[in-house]
Amino acid sequence: MLPMTNDLRKRIKIRIKNHLDISDLIQDVDIKGEDLQYAIIKNFTRVKVDISRVNLSNAVIGEKGKVTNISGNIMRNCRFCDIRFLGRVYMRKCICDGSDFNGADCSNVEYQKTSFLNCKFCETAIRLGSSYSWGAKFSQNFFDDLAKGWAIKITKLTYEEIKEKFKNDQKMLDLWKGDNERR
């Protein structure tokens, strides 16, 4: 990774101000702790790097019809407020602890085995389907906030409790057991 320089920061700010893509400017550059608010980044493929504390609020990441891979990254305490992810985004096996996703559009983000402990998700569009979220870690307050005002309570069950609830449904038990063996 190349270090971020003041000259490069100025060029990035000019492109952001003019609503131009900054992909080529930040390719192979360390963006940890940088302020990239309102950036347009069409090619943001980064794997297994530390981009903690980066501010991508109101940014647009990716392109429709293309895949963006940001898997295996450490993204602690980042700001993803009102970010829009376009195309398909793979955010697998990341550590996003303490990040702010308020207002983010993460509807096309696959986040298997990603840690979202102590993250904020107010008014965030996120898919909770098993293929998108398999193995992801959320704080309990995420589920408490999700169910606020609903007539249901979301609780974590042990295998023994699940076995008891589905004792007459072997297909469900096999499916649940298979998911947990892969973890």
Indicate if 168 and 118 belong to the same structural domain. no
Give the range among 48-57, 145-154, 173-182 with minimum mean pLDDT: 173-182
Selection from 115, 114, 76, 67 nearest residue 98 by Cα: 76
In the sheet that holds 60-61, the strands lie side by side as 40-41, 60-61, 84-85, 105-106, 125-126
Which residue did the predictor score with more confidence, 177 or 182?
Answer: 177
Tell me, yes or no, whether 97 lies in a domain: yes
Domain count, the chain: 2
Indicate if 76 and 46 belong to the same structural domain. yes
pLDDT digits (tens, 9 = 90+) for 157-181: 777 877 777 777 777 667 666 554 4
Neighbours of 114 (CB within 10 A): 24
In the block, residue with structure tokens 């990341």: 94
Tell me, yes or no, whether 32 lies in a domain: yes
What's the pTM value of the predicted model, to 2 decimals? 0.79
Indicate if 142 and 163 belong to the same structural domain. no
**Alpha carbon distances (Å) from 47 to 124, 145, 153, 165:** 24, 31, 37, 40
